[in-house]
A and B are shown apart, each in its own frame.
Chain A
Amino acid sequence: MSWETVIGLETHVQLSTKTKLFSRASTAFGASPNTNVNLIDCGLPGVLPSVNKEAFYKAIRFGMAIDAQINQVSIFDRKNYFYADLPKGYQITQMDLPIVLGGSINIVSGETTKTINITRAHLEEDAGKSIHDEYDGYSAIDLNRAGTPLLEIVSEPEISSAKEAVAYMKAMHQLVTYLDVSDGNMAQGSLRCDANVSIRKKGDKDLGTRTEIKNINSFKFIEKAINFEIKRQIKILEKGETVTQETRLYDSSKDETRSMRSKEFANDYRYFPEPDLLPVVISDEEIKRIKDEFPELPSEKEMRYQQDFKISAYDAQIIASSKSMADFFEAAAEQTGNYNLLANWLIGEISAYLNKELIEINESKLSIANVAILINRIDDQTISGKIGKAIFEEMCISGISPDEIIESQGLKQISDDGAIEEIINSVINDNPAQVEAYRGGKDKLFGFFVGQVMKLTQGKANPKTVNAILNEKLK
């Protein structure tokens, strides 16, 4: 039997506003428990919500980027259910009139590009956090996250593999960070998704029964959780049994999904229009302003980099694919003239280091000024590329300026012809046998002489000068 997977993703993107969706408490991550909580977030009797403009603007920017319809009249609804970290006993969300309707996003999976249609995206508030395993017999409630603005983006069920799901999330990550809609920090939960997974016989029109895997927060887990779920469902179907529609959790320690405890009664969320909030209307002028201030997207950046900085299409594409890398490139380019060398370093050494450390460039100790200085010193031949690499390693650890490192360690390149000639003379004098062998036709020995010179100069001799003089002397 041949099976086909159908996946729809509900992505929760935490919007990078300074304050919450309905209160003016901070959204800063990592604060001490229950300190970023005001009267509204605590759900005290008598409090009322009021709406954060920036959250709307960010949601609209996202909608524009995916070419969706923007509902300029937005209505909030209450979704009623009880949970310990849901302070009011309801979540304020958008049911009937989401701010973003339709649109699509392109994903690249392997060699192929595919368009995934977006059903809708709506604004809602996040809940707090329950800590279940730290206190004996208790769950501890931290409301710092309660009220943080989320954009829930619902895809059409058009994703057909775990790999595509990952590609979708990567595209989403790139888009929301580019638009400055979210910091995209998955470890902190700024981007997470619920995956609706179902299996059907190849060629079937109807969808199979789906399960929903809740709250997956890394690219790796998305792939693993979905793959596990696909296998599990196929196994069930192949036994001739049926899949139960339910919510499941992915347990990364066991690499499996498991059913969440079924509730005594099915949930009935009793949505109704939030009577504490009148409709929010975004004017045509505001829409225009958002459009005018629209950030440059990766494809636009790629083109511009090739034109303005004359770097290769390949380099431009790689640099533009990450917002933080692109920002870094542009800022550093203002302080150096050798754009190609800068691009090479960003794609080469710097990317390798960041990948190894699993950090973004703005999280490293590499400052824009220091990287620009490094490029300039290589470019003006103060140091060789090789010495540059050694300096770079030090910069990554200490964050010290390359000039300081060059100065303190005496790494300045020797380009003075006289000084190099003197050293070469002594190398030739000290190695008569090798000189003879070389002159006898053993060309490979040339590298030996270069190595000797570099050894004596601790690598500081300008390689070009060394090559030229050596060639002359060994003739």
Chain B
Amino acid sequence: MNIQFKSIIELREMLDNKSISITELTQESFLLAKKYDELNCFVTMNEEVGQKKADAADSNNKNSSMLFGIPLAQKDLFCTENLRTTCSSKILSNFIPPYTATAVKKLEDAGSITIGKTNMDEFAMGSSNETSFFGNVHNPWKKGYVPGGSSGGSAAAVAAGIVPAATGTDTGGSIRQPAAHCGITGLKPTYGRVSRWGMIAFASSLDQAGPLARTAEDCAILLNSMSGYDSKDTTSLNSDVPDFLANINQPIDGLKIGIIKEFNLSDLDSEVQARFEESKKTYEKLGAKFIEVSLPNISASVPTYYSIAPAECSSNLSRFDGVRFGHRAKNTTDLNDLYIKSRSEGFGDEVKRRILIGTYALSAGYYDAYYKKAQQVRRLIKNDFDQVFQSVDVLMTPTSPNTAFEFGSKGTQNPVELYLEDLFTISSNLAGLPAISIPHGQVNSLPVGLQLIGNFLKEDQLLNTAHLFQKNSDFHLAQPSLEDFS
């Protein structure tokens, strides 16, 4: 029974009408992971435990959750009890967490089966998956091309049809950008919607977990399980969680969509532009209205982000010191030597760069000019969003200025070149807003993503808007041939 490229809803039906068992489905998923091993999506497989859970689920078929028996992949920065969690870093290459992240636990409690941990940019720092200690992940659409990052392994695993959905985390676009580059759907929820407990922190005030899947509907299914207040994360929101699937089919007649004036789309590749114009037409046909809006400070998002995120990361990554867990250098002379050698051996260059920048931005004499200044600009950016959401329902932008690029072709000479790729995605993290990326066609046989940004806690509206697009188009159904990988 072929399960590749099937959505959760399709697999649910197959399981419910007994055309496949959970055991078989899980086996198939593991087989696909092995078949496409060359994609390098996974850092660690969960074969024994996953298969056992599947067998048990078949004989104890009581759970009525949509996710019951559905194989999922987890980004390797969610702690998973007794299953190695590396953040794709040498420093954690042997770390076995004694506990499971809330987001993953909720998905597993709903009956889903974790088949493995996906490759990523080291500590989620990167937008091409090229900073992983475990090697590059290939874009399923084109060998030797990046899948985007940092949730590149999750995006590639879903795009290759190995699993119907996977978890990711998004600090500046790390769910949406790889979703765009791999031609799938990825949602970054409102900051606080999903608990961060057990998610290894990159930048605490920006990080948010979310789903990557083939469709907006499947994203809604995952979000239903992942969301909710967690007393262990006091930055999680104590707000009602709606059934995101229930209202996904509402008509969007009269929906007001904002186009951000400051994002000068005419600078983009003409094909990318053309896709964007085409999608506007699709929405117009569905009754939406387009309004040009101004967010005067949005172009400051990139420098704002690259001051705040490294500052928080420099502190968050201090616990990787070779004392209680993780890599410890050999032959050290004293405690300081142990810190310096363990950390220098354990972290890759991009992580080091960001720790150093963050240390600098927080240090005496620079704090006000860099860190505090950035947090002030952050408020200006958030104020801009508050303003425009008084007149529009959602904002629409491309997810990324470009399609996926070749390994090593960007950022090696100048890291800032790669940072600018995040221009469209970063601002929603700064403001804590939900945003989704959906595929809307291809340029040169590589997928292009469309981003919708919603107001605070308006994931339901985003999913609804995305789903109607998918009901009226077939971009999300495109499948890579994968012939170079098997």
Instruction: List chain A positions with a Cβ less than 8 A from chain B.
Output: 39, 42-51, 78, 80, 82, 84, 87-90, 139, 141, 268, 270-272, 275-278
Contacts and interface: CB of A to CB of B under 8 A. Distances in A.
Q: Which 8 A-B pairs have the closest CB atoms?
A: A89-B318, A275-B204, A270-B362, A275-B205, A45-B200, A46-B198, A46-B79, A43-B319
A84 B332 CA distance: 14
Contact of A87 (B101, B205, B324, B362): B324
Contacts of A87: 319, 323-324
Interface in B317-375: 317-321, 323-325, 335-336, 339, 359, 362-364, 367, 371
A82 B318 contact: yes
Given A45-B79, A46-B199, A88 B318 contact: yes
A44 B323 contact: no
A48 B197 contact: yes
Contacts of A88: 318-319
A277 B319 contact: no
B233 A48 contact: yes
Contacts of B263: none
Interface string B388-425: 00000000000000000000000000000000000000
Given A49-B234, A272-B362, 17 more contacts: A45-B79, A45-B87, A45-B92, A46-B77, A46-B78, A80-B315, A80-B362, A82-B336, A88-B318, A89-B315, A89-B317, A89-B321, A268-B364, A271-B362, A272-B315, A275-B205, A276-B234
Contacts of B99: 39, 44
A41 B92 CA distance: 19
Contact of A43 (B231, B324, B335): B324
A46 B200 contact: yes
A337 B312 CA distance: 65
B85 interface: yes
B201 interface: yes
B92 A278 contact: no
A51 B234 contact: yes
B363 to A, nearest CB: 5
14 contacts: A44-B79, A45-B85, A46-B97, A47-B197, A51-B234, A80-B318, A87-B323, A88-B318, A141-B324, A268-B364, A270-B364, A272-B362, A272-B367, A277-B234
Q: Which of B97, B204, B319 has the most CB of A within 10 A?
A: B319
Q: Is the interface of A mostly helix, strand, loop or mixed?
A: loop
Nearest to B101: A46
Contacts, number: 102
B298 interface: no
Contacts of B200: 45-46
Contacts of B75: none
A275 B314 CA distance: 13
Contacts of A272: 311, 315, 362, 367, 371
A275 B362 CA distance: 14
A46 B102 CA distance: 10
Nearest to B78: A46
B21 interface: no
Given A80-B362, A270-B363, A48 B319 contact: no
A139 B338 CA distance: 13
Contact of B97 (A44, A78, A80): A44
Q: How large is the interface on B (under 10, 10 to 19, 20 to 34, 35 or more residues)?
A: 35 or more
A80 B198 CA distance: 22
Given A272-B367, A275-B204, A48 B315 contact: no
Contacts of B98: 39, 44
B95 A45 contact: yes
A107 B115 CA distance: 66
B321 A275 contact: no
B87 A90 contact: no
B231 A50 contact: yes
Contacts of A271: 362
Nearest to B203: A275
Nearest to B336: A82
B232 interface: yes
Contacts of A46: 77-79, 97, 101, 196-201
Contacts of A139: 335
Nearest to B308: A275
A333 B204 CA distance: 56
B338 to A, nearest CB: 9
B470 interface: no
Q: Which of A43, A51, A277 has the most B CB atoms < 10 Å from its CB?
A: A43
Contacts of B204: 275-276
A84 B335 contact: yes
A277 B98 CA distance: 23
Interface in B65-107: 77-79, 85, 87, 92, 95, 97-99, 101
B315 A78 contact: yes
B235 interface: yes
Contacts of B311: 272
Most B CB contacts (10 A, CB to CB) among A43, A45, A48 go to A45
Contacts of A80: 314-315, 318, 362
Given A39-B99, A270-B315, A48 B362 contact: no
Contacts of B234: 48-51, 276-278
Contacts of B78: 46
B162 to A, nearest CB: 25
Contacts of B85: 45
A80 B358 CA distance: 12
Given A48-B197, A48-B234, A270 B359 contact: yes
Contacts of B363: 268, 270
A50 B203 CA distance: 18
Nearest to B312: A275
A39 B363 CA distance: 29
Contact of B232 (A50, A51, A275, A278): A50
Nearest to B235: A278
A44 B323 CA distance: 11
B97 A45 contact: yes
A138 to B, nearest CB: 10
A146 to B, nearest CB: 11
A39 B325 CA distance: 12
Interface string B197-230: 1111101110000000000000000000000000
Nearest to B362: A270
Nearest to B358: A270
A48 B367 contact: no
A278 B237 CA distance: 11
A469 B318 CA distance: 86
B456 to A, nearest CB: 15
A276 B195 CA distance: 12
A44 B362 CA distance: 23
A39 B201 CA distance: 15
A90 B317 CA distance: 10
Contacts of B314: 80, 270
B334 to A, nearest CB: 10
Contact of B324 (A42, A48, A50, A276): A42
Contacts of A84: 323, 335
Contacts of B325: 44-45
A48 B203 CA distance: 13
A141 B337 CA distance: 17
Nearest to B207: A275
Contacts of A48: 196-197, 232-235
Nearest to A130: B335
